[in-house]
Amino acid sequence: MSTQFHPPLRTLMGPGPSDVSPRVLQALARPCIGHLDPQFIALMDDIKALLQYAFQTKNALTLPISAPGSAGMEACFVNLLEAGDKAIVCQNGVFGARMKENVERCGATAVMVEDRWGEAVDPQKLEDALKQHQDAKLVAFVHAETSTGAQSDAKTLCALATKHGCLSIVDTVTSLGGTEVAVDDWGADAVYAGTQKCLSCVPGISPVTFSERAVAAIKARSTKVQSWFLDMELVMGYWGGASKRAYHHTAPVNALYALHESLLILKEEGLENAWQRHQQNHLALAAGLECLGISFVVPEKSRLPQLNNVTIPAGIDDALVRKTLLERYSLEIGAGLGDLAGKVWRIGLMGFASKQENVLLCLNALDNVLIELGANHQPGEAAATAARAYLVPNQKLEVFEN
């Protein structure tokens, strides 16, 4: 006989979802109202304004897609590409490959610019491809590659796309709220994100934003967008901001309460403070991991502070360590993906989970498990080293209790 489901209380330090703020969980439990209720319409307008703040954009076409980040990705591609178009896709991990899949499903041609997993996208390789394929319509790349923990120079890549007359599509699923995202300053045209990473909201919503150039391209299409649900011209009839909203779909009302609360938390903290917090916790974690003989895959200048991709020590059983951490400490860290499967762990410090107590929990737990498996580091040194990192002069101490 089926019974109520009561999930265990975990500390989520993998690649996502991240720990959800108690404030966000409380928001989920508020009374459900209609998706065309005047009070909900007012909330929609506030969500839009808060997303514009998070994305650092004035784009009118900024809204949350009622589906996860993968749908945000698809929304960007299906609205901007038609059959016969050409798109240049930069790949330095798993999610660049998903972009290629989207291009091809639109009936367009994908020109791949590939970099080694763990490295940032090379702007020179992109420029060479743009010169070679002058008929390309857009450039697509992942700002923060979740599979590797590498962050690319979005401003430079978007500028190259604009210089060569191309639109740009940017994946900020893992970066939004954790490291700088500046859509207008970058000159990006279509940007998508997810709620379950550094926004510390529940999974299932994908914030997107489209520039005026992107909107013009959508309006100039010669064919219908291949997805009815993700057609931005139809969706904007509901999210457009006019006093009369056209019914498009039943919005996930309570999930949008949660998104609103998470965006309020971000604004209360301030974007720059949030970025600083993620960086500080990353530096403390990195200092501790070094004591455990664990190194980073990504060069320091390109590392994501919120997604730490680190090598598994020689002779250590990847799955056994993750299983022990989950069962004994209720702590989740992530496995490697694709080419890095079985070679790395992905340790997330995202949103609400990016705090000192989690850094110390993770280091102490790894310390104990690795010692049991035969590692010969100094017990207790990792957490002590990380704790000292928080006392470095002239660094703002992390405070985040929302």
**pLDDT classification of 397: cutoffs 50, 70, 90:** very low
Cα–Cα dist 238/168, whole Å: 25
Q: Are 248 and 235 contacting, i.e. CB atoms less than 8 angstroms apart?
A: yes
Q: How much is the pLDDT for 364?
A: 98
Chain mean pLDDT for the chain:
95
Comparing C-alpha atoms, which of 72, 346, 68, 53 is closest to residue 195? 68
Does the pLDDT at position 85 exceed 70?
yes
Kindly report, residue by residue over 241-263, the tens digit of the pLDDT.
665 788 899 999 999 999 999 99
Structural domain boundaries in the chain: 21-267, 271-389
Comparing C-alpha atoms, which of 263, 198, 205, 203 is closest to residue 239? 205
Q: What is the mean pLDDT of residues 293-306?
A: 96
Q: What is the mean pLDDT of residues 30-46?
A: 95
Kindly report, residue by residue over 280-297, the tens digit of the pLDDT.
999 999 999 999 999 999
One of 1.10.340.30, 3.90.1150.10, 3.40.50.2300, 3.40.640.10 is the CATH number of 271-389, namely 3.90.1150.10
**pLDDT classification of 393: cutoffs 50, 70, 90:** low
* Neighbour count for residue 66 (Cβ, 10 Å): 22
What is the CATH architecture of 21-267? 3-Layer(aba) Sandwich (3.40)
Cα–Cα dist 11/241, whole Å: 38
Q: How much is the pLDDT for 241?
A: 65
Does the pLDDT at position 298 exceed 60?
yes
Does the pLDDT at position 392 exceed 90?
no
Q: How much is the pLDDT for 398?
A: 43
Which residues is 191 bridged to in the sheet?
Answer: 170, 209
Residue 362 in tokens: 């993770």
Kindly report, residue by residue over 151-179, the tens digit of the pLDDT.
999 999 999 999 999 999 999 999 999 99
Asked whether the domain spanning 271-389 has the same topology as the one spanning 21-267, the reply is: no
Residue 86 in tokens: 């050409």
Does the pLDDT at position 129 exceed 80?
yes
Kindly report, residue by residue over 3-29, the tens digit of the pLDDT.
999 999 999 999 999 999 999 999 999
Three-state DSSP at 338 gives: helix
Comparing C-alpha atoms, which of 222, 203, 243 is closest to residue 65? 203
Biggest CA pair distance of the chain: 67
Cα–Cα dist 336/346, whole Å: 6
* Neighbour count for residue 249 (Cβ, 10 Å): 13
Q: How much is the pLDDT for 400?
A: 41
Q: How much is the pLDDT for 210?
A: 98
Please give the residue that has the higher pLDDT: either 396 or 244. 244
Q: How much is the pLDDT for 244?
A: 72
Q: Are 231 and 79 contacting, i.e. CB atoms less than 8 angstroms apart?
A: yes
Residue 171 in tokens: 């994946």
